Amino acid sequence: MSAPELAGLAAVVTGGASGIGLATALLLASRGARVACLDLAPEGLPEPLVGIRADVSDDAGVRAAVDQAAQRLGGIDILVNNAGIGAQGTIEDNPDDEWRRVFDVNVFGIVRTTRAALPHLRRSHHAAIVNTCSIAATAGLPDRALYSATKGAVLSLTRATAADLVAAGIRVNCVNPGTADTPWIGRLLDRAADPEAERAALNARQPTGRLVTADEVAAAIAYLASPLAGSTTGADLAVDGGMSGLRTRPR
Ligand code: NAD
């Protein structure tokens, strides 16, 4: 039998304690990687995941957490920049401080974590970075100006960083999930007047008729992180039930 695809590799997943990040961490581990989850709330993660407390908006804290992960895992080959927060509203709805707060997590969080991980990634022979972006980067979603602007920045950052690191043998890609059934969406539905009707409406908006699953996004991230994607860099992979690519009527 051949070795698991990611045997011998070490991965760091930010926002790895919930939703897409947790599904990714578990999948990478099941394929043989040693995995550390950096999260605001890393308690109670299942074996063999290593939980490390970190806030990606705190530069010194991120550096310490990434170095700790490298020490505990014996290096870093894969970085999944997945931590992110949402924001509703048009360009008029959020004050400057809120714009700074969401950019600080969704964009500068990736900048900080990537900078902290690069000395470790440069020592790897299979170095890969995968950023969790969103269809909001390209789709023009209503009532999501701030969130979309952060994800647009993540898409550009992914491509530019891929160009800068290609000569060093470090690949950089992103996934663009559509509406994914994670605790994040659960919290949105809980705030709706009729959560079940809201869920049905969300499902009906998807060309596939249902939300994306966290496992489906994790599978795309795991592919982009794996040596099998060795010729793919600077790419964005949609996992969105056809939302961005198809011209279909809603069901
Ligand atoms: P989630 O809320 O289930 O999980 C997010 C995780 O990130 C949590 O464990 C949280 O503690 C952690 N986190 C938040 N801020 C952090 C910080 N400052 N430092 C460290 N960790 C932090 O959300 P999810 O749906 O799994 O979303 C994960 C990523 O996927 C986000 O970047 C989000 O923008 C993106 N995304 C989600 C959807 C969706 O519909 N769920 C769609 C497109 C993109």
Ligand 1 atom nearest residue 56's Cα? 19
CA distance 227 to 138: 28
29-55 burial, b for 16+ CB within 10 Å, e for fewer? Answer: bebebbbbbbbeebeebeeebbbbbbb
- For the segment 93-127, what is each residue's pLDDT rounded down to a tens digit? 999 999 999 999 999 999 999 999 999 999 999 99
Contact 88, 143 (CB under 8 A): yes
Contact 17, 65 (CB under 8 A): no
**Catalytic-residue membership of 147:** yes
- Which residues surround ligand 1 with Cβ inside 6 Å? 14-15, 17-21, 39-41, 54-57, 82-85, 105, 109, 132, 134, 177, 179-180, 182-185
Ligand 1 centroid to Cα of residue 19, in Å, is: 7
Tally of helices (H runs) and strands (E runs) in the chain: 8, 9
Ligand 1 centroid to Cα of residue 1, in Å, is: 36
Average pLDDT over residues 8-37: 98
Q: Which two tokens stand for residue 30?
A: 């099941």
Ligand 1 centroid to Cα of residue 82, in Å, is: 6
Q: Which two tokens stand for residue 46?
A: 């299942």
Ligand 1 centroid to Cα of residue 3, in Å, is: 31
The full set of domains in the chain, from first to last, is 10-177+213-238 (3.40.50.720), 180-211 (no CATH)
Which amino acid, residue 6?
L
Give pLDDT, residue 152: 98
Residue nearest to atom 17 of ligand 1 (CA): 55
Catalytic pick from 56, 104, 120, 147? 147
CA distance 102 to 139: 19
Which amino acid, residue 10?
A
Q: Is pLDDT above 80 for 142?
A: yes
Predicted interface score ipTM higher than 0.90: yes
